[in-house]
Amino acid sequence: TVRSFATTSSRQNAIKTVTVIGGGLMGSGIAQVAATTGHQVVMVDQTDDILGKSKASIQKSLQRVVKKKFAEDPKGGEQFVSDILGRITTQTDSNAAVANSDLVIEAIVENIDVKKKLFSSLDKAAPQHTIFTSNTSSLPIGDIAVSTQRQDRFGGLHFFNPVPMMKLLEVVRIPATSDETFNKLSDFGKAMKKTTVDCKDTPGFIVNRLLVPYTIEAMRMVERGDASFKDVDTAMKLGAGYPMGPFELSDYVGLDTMKFILDGWAEKYPENPLFQPSALLNKYVAEGKLGAKSGEGFYNYK
């Protein structure tokens, strides 16, 4: 009941303007969905060249949506795309980009020092009411939030790849996150038409805490010679109903990203056997086979 009061009051000053920092794989998807659901979006990246590519990828993704949604109405489809693109502006100066922002969603490189440096600077540039969030896959939100003076207005919004298709949003709170902030973030997730789940600031939140050890165990199974990676993928798709097997999914997420997550946890929690390195994963990354994005991983994409 306390929560429903808070939800009601937060609706009155709901999040309308969003700054997405990082226009890569995740940032461009987040910007797309936020604009699709009526939010005003500023997307930030390091150069205009990168931002041009981000906008092109949003356009391409929207075309896939239009192909189905407006199959019989090409004019309506054109209007749909131009309305959404019209709600997205781009910026290379992140401090300037947050000046009128209700919410910041950070989706830059998975590096704690780079993220802390960014938030420390944004903390001085953003209005008092602006809520800060990170889309980190594996870093503790609390370790990032300490770079600011607004830990009560700090949380995690963890989206899934591909953002336009995946229905889940993990909303993460740290002990300092206020109820008002948390409720606003959950409401924002629902406004983005995602189903939200409440997470504490534990390694991998819910999904990655289960998905990463499962995927690494699949790699260990292959290392032991118990099955081929293709058979493992076939088995998990047809026997467990997963849309992708663990090797296809690793290629999709990026083998370097998988290794980065695992190595970070192994260093932080050396006693946990689930977080131990995989020789197979290390071999692929050392050979530069990073998955779909590099043209080759467990599978060939060339």
Is residue 72 annotated as a catalytic residue, yes or no?
Answer: no
Residue 189 is a binding residue for ligand NAD (CB under 6 A): no
Among 15, 35, 43, 107, binds ligand NAD (CB under 6 A): 107
Q: What is the dihedral of CA 69, 75, 76, 77, to 10 degrees?
A: 40
Tokens of 289: 């086979």
Residue 43: strand pairing partners: 20, 90
**Nearest CA-CA partner of 127 in 6, 13, 30:** 13
Q: Any idea how long the chain is?
A: 302
Among 6, 10, 20, 23, binds ligand NAD (CB under 6 A): 23
Closest contact distance (angstroms) between CB of 85 and ligand NAD is 19
Strand-by-strand arrangement of the 103-106 sheet: 88-91, 40-44, 17-21, 103-106, 131-134, 154-158, 168-173, 195-200
Active site residue 158: yes
Q: Tell whether residue 137 is a contact of ligand CAA (CB under 6 A).
A: yes
How many residues touch ligand NAD under the rule CB under 6 A: the total is 26
- How many other CB atoms are found less than 10 A from the CB of residue 254? 19
CA atoms within a 13 Å half-sphere pointing along the CA-CB vector of 50: 15
For ligand NAD, which residue of 22, 140, 213, 245 counts as binding (CB under 6 A)?
A: 22
The answer to whether residues 268 and 203 touch, using CB atoms and an 8 Å cutoff, is: yes
Tokens 């054109």 locate to 78
Cβ-based neighbours of 291, under 8 Å, separated by 6 or more: 250, 251, 252, 253, 254, 255, 256, 297, 298, 301
Q: Which of 164, 179, 227, 235 binds ligand CAA (CB under 6 A)?
A: 164
50 sits near ligand NAD (criterion: CB under 6 A): yes
Establish whether 16 is an annotated binding residue: no
Residue 109 interacts with ligand NAD (CB under 6 A): yes or no: yes
Question: Does the footprint of ligand CAA cover residue 37 (CB under 6 A)?
Answer: no
Task: Give the residues across from 199 on adjacent strands.
Answer: 172
68 is in an annotated binding site: yes
Q: Is 248 a catalytic residue?
A: no
User: Is residue 216 a contact point for ligand NAD (CB under 6 A)?
Assistant: no
Catalytic-residue membership of 129: no
Q: Cα dihedral angle (123, 53, 47, 260), rounded to 10 degrees?
A: 60
Quote the least distance from Cβ 226 to ligand CAA, whole Å.
23
Q: Residue with CB nearest ligand NAD?
A: 24
Nearer to ligand NAD, 70 or 162 (CB): 162
Q: Which does 135 bind (CB under 5 to 8 A by kind): ligand NAD, ligand CAA, none?
A: ligand NAD
Residues that bind ligand CAA (CB under 6 A): 61, 64-65, 67-68, 137, 160-162, 164-166, 208, 243-244, 249, 253
Binding-site residues for NAD(+), please? 22-27, 45, 110, 115, 137, 161, 293
Binding positions are 22-27, 45, 61, 68, 110, 115, 137, 161, 293
